[in-house]
Amino acid sequence: MPTSSPPDNPKALLEAACAEAFAAARWDEVDLSTRWPGAEAGSLLLAKAAECALSPIARDQLLSLALERIVDAGDPTSPLLKPKPDADRRAEIARAAFALGPHRSSETEALVGSIEERHARRLEGRASPARLAASLRDDAALHEILWDHPDIPGGPEIRLTMLCAVPRLRDRADELTTMGPDWLRNLMKMAGRARRGRSG
C-alpha cells in the first residue's frame, strides 16, 4: 500500500483553507443578514461560530474564527492565525490534551467517515477515489498543523480528537488510491456506520 506524505507546501495549504473559511463566513453573513436584518444576524453568526468551535474538524475550527472575525468587524485582510505561534503555549496545549489519556478508535473512525462524506457531497458528480484521497491528505495536514495551535477555539478533548485523526485520514487516503469500482458503495456503507456511531 502506498504511504501518504504531507503536502509540499503546508503554508499554502493553510492559507487556502483560511481563505475558504473566510469566504464561507462571508456567505453565511450575507445569507443571515438577508433573512434576519439587524443584530439578530450577528447573534446567529456567533451561535454558529460556537457550534464550529466544538467540532474536531480542522476546517470547522477555522470557520469559527472567521465567523467571529466578521461579527467583530475585524480586518478581513489580516490572517486568521498567527503565523508563528508561541512554542511554549503549544507545548502547554499538548500536555493538556495528552493528559486526557487514550482516545477511542471508534470516535476517530466516525470522524474520518464524516470528513470523507462531507468531501463527497462537496464534489458531487466529480467525486472519485483520487479526488477524495487528495482531500483527505489535505485535511490530515490541516489537522496536524492546527491541533495544538493556540488560536483555534477547540478545547483539549477537541484537539486530541484532531490529532488522533491524522494517521487515520492518511490511511484512508491510501485505501482510496487502491479502491476498485465499488468505492462509492463502500463509502456509503462507511458513512452509515459513522452516523450510527455518532448516534449511539
Q: Which helix (H) or strand (E) holds 5?
A: none
Give pLDDT, residue 2. Answer: 39
Query: What distance in Å separates the CA atoms of residue 166 and residue 138, rounded to the nearest whole number?
Result: 10
Q: What dihedral angle (degrees, nearest 10) is formed by the CA atoms of 11, 84, 27, 134?
A: 30
Query: What distance in Å separates the CA atoms of residue 93 and residue 150, rounded to the nearest whole number?
Result: 7
Residues in the chain: 200
Q: Is 174 left (phi over 0), alpha (psi -120 to 50) or beta?
A: alpha
Q: Which residue has the higher pLDDT, 61 or 124?
A: 61
Looking at every residue in the chain, the average pLDDT score rounds to 86
Say if residue 188's pLDDT is above 70. no
Say if residue 3's pLDDT is above 50. no
**Residue 132's pLDDT band (boundaries 50, 70, 90)?**
very high
Say if residue 179's pLDDT is above 80. no
Query: What distance in Å separates the CA atoms of residue 114 and residue 111, rounded to the nearest whole number?
Result: 5
**Residue 42's pLDDT band (boundaries 50, 70, 90)?**
confident
Say if residue 161's pLDDT is above 60. yes
Say if residue 35's pLDDT is above 90. no
How much is the average pLDDT of 26-47? Answer: 87
29-33, 35-39, 43-47, 140-144: which is most confident:
140-144
Q: What cell does 4 get?
A: 501518504
Hey, where are the domains in the chain? 10-71, 87-199
pLDDT per residue as tens digits for the range 58-113: 999 999 999 999 988 767 678 899 888 999 999 999 999 999 988 888 999 999 99
How much is the average pLDDT of 171-199? Answer: 68
Query: What distance in Å separates the CA atoms of residue 6 and residue 96, rounded to the nearest whole number?
Result: 25
Give pLDDT, residue 154. Answer: 97
Asked whether the beta carbons of 183 and 127 are under 8 A apart, the reply is: no
Asked whether the beta carbons of 22 and 45 are under 8 A apart, the reply is: no
Say if residue 187's pLDDT is above 70. no
